[in-house]
Amino acid sequence: MWWLSALGGVVVLATGLLSPQEAGAVIDRIAPVLVFLAAVTVIAGLADAAKVFEVAAREAAHLGRGKAWRLWLLVVTLATALTVVLSLDTCAVLLTPVVLAMARQLDIPPKLFAFTTVWLAGTASLLLPVSNLTNLLALHRFGQLGLGLRDYVGLSWRPAITAVVITVAVLALLFHRDLRRTYVVPETPGVEDKLLFWGAAGVCVALGPAFVSGVEVAYPATVGALILVVLFAVRRRPELRWSLIPWRLVITVVGLFLVVSALTAHGLEALLRQVAGTSGNGLLADLRLTATAAIGANAVDNLPAYLAAEPVAASDGSRMMALLIGVNCGCLLTLWGSLATLLWRDRCVAAGIHISWWSFLWRGLILTPLVLAGTVLALNLG
């Protein structure tokens, strides 16, 4: 997909559909997102090499006390907390290796934990601005409407809770056989280099308060990545490889944003105004906007889909939240619906677990309509 996205970006620039100045403005806006994406992926790769995830998986297994359903509830709690505090992309990068390593060690089918992580990374990402990069992009619109953090949370908390509850219920229904399993609690593995282990674990833990401190999230992520790079350069240099940097994902994001920006400047915005509407509140109006946003997210990724639909939702905070519901909770049909899903799939591939597009789609077709309808209803009840 990365080469197709790159080709699209080149085409819109070469044909003049997007001027160099317009392209520069797009890159300037998404630069912090790209830096965050690269830094947090490096952190995940080096933390994995330091055995942080392997040890965390064994400790989680101890807390589960041999029952798969207890272990699953722990994963649900961790995925929700990581998504809310550290963002869905961080959850996909940091937690996915933990749950997959845990499933492999305990001989439990990995899809239960894999889908728990990726689904909650999406549906739990409404509550705070830091929970999703789309939320961060939306903050300036909320500010223009005179709405602050308290107003944002006032709009988001009911849909956020509803989205998590529906997701957990659907997961329990789809994987009820796996939840009945038992396992033998393993011993915690030994750590060869305790300095690397505790350094990597400390960076992962410190990201939480850093990301909710109000500082641009790219800064603490970059600092954390640099700390680990220096530690590994001193202690285990061969682990430092260029492959740690997700350059394919970076190219994919840049290309998608350039293409969507060009389309927006040449008629896409007018089309979206007709499809999604430009004003009006109420259940039907919000469902119309949310469904349009969800379709766009699954077609081209949720970040450019948000940017394309932002002008048609900018009239008030409720419509902005309906848009965020669509791009955050509705992007779980295609494997490219969000950066988090792409990161999650990369982690699955690295762990030797294959999730086909059809396997992802048919499960998403069960969850997505339920979670979108429930969250929009919760938004209107508020």
Characterize 47-76 residue by residue with b for buried, 16 or more Cβ atoms within 10 angstroms of its Cβ, and e for exposed.
bbbbbbbbbbbbebbeebeeebbebbbbbb
Residues 6 or more apart whose CB falls under 8 angstroms from that of 375 comprise 126, 159, 160, 162, 163, 166, 290, 325, 329
Pick from 284, 124, 146, 128: nearest CA to 217: 128
Q: What is the pLDDT of residue 366?
A: 96
pLDDT in the model for residue 172: 96
Burial class (CB in 10 A: 0-12, 13-18, 19+), 17: middle
**What is Dmax (Cα atoms) for the chain?**
62
pLDDT of residue 270: 65
Report yes or no: 135 and 125 within 8 Å, Cβ to Cβ.
yes
Secondary structure of residue 216 in the 3-state scheme: coil
Which pLDDT does position 148 carry in this prediction?
Answer: 80
> What per-residue confidence (pLDDT) applies to 168?
97
Distance separating alpha carbons of residues 30 and 10, to the nearest angstrom: 17
pLDDT of residue 227: 96
pLDDT at 265: 76
* CB-based contact 341:141 (threshold 8 Å): no
Which pairs with CB-CB distance under 8 Å and at least 24 residues apart come from 47-51?
A: 47/94, 47/200, 47/201, 47/203, 47/204, 47/228, 48/97, 49/196, 49/232, 49/236, 49/239, 50/193, 50/196, 50/197, 50/199, 50/200, 50/201, 51/189, 51/191, 51/192, 51/197
Sign of CA dihedral 350, 352, 358, 361: negative
- Cα-based distances in Å from 75 to 69, 99, 103, 127, 328: 10, 8, 11, 19, 20
What 8-state DSSP symbol labels residue 192? S
Q: Which of 330, 267, 379, 354 is nearest to 125 (CA)?
A: 330
Question: How distant is the alpha carbon of residue 185 from its chain centre?
Answer: 30
Using alpha carbons, select from 260, 285, 41, 9 the residue that is nearest to residue 137: 260
pLDDT at 204: 84
Per-residue pLDDT of the chain (382 residues; tens, 9 = 90+): 677 778 888 888 888 888 888 888 888 878 887 888 788 888 878 988 898 877 877 787 788 888 999 999 988 988 898 888 777 877 887 788 888 888 887 888 899 999 999 999 999 999 988 788 888 888 778 888 888 878 888 899 999 999 999 999 999 999 999 999 988 877 766 788 899 999 999 998 887 778 667 677 788 889 999 999 999 999 999 999 988 888 887 888 788 888 888 887 777 666 676 666 666 677 888 888 899 899 989 987 888 888 888 888 878 888 999 999 999 999 999 998 888 898 888 888 888 888 898 999 999 999 999 999 999 999 998 6
Give the model's pLDDT for residue 137.
80
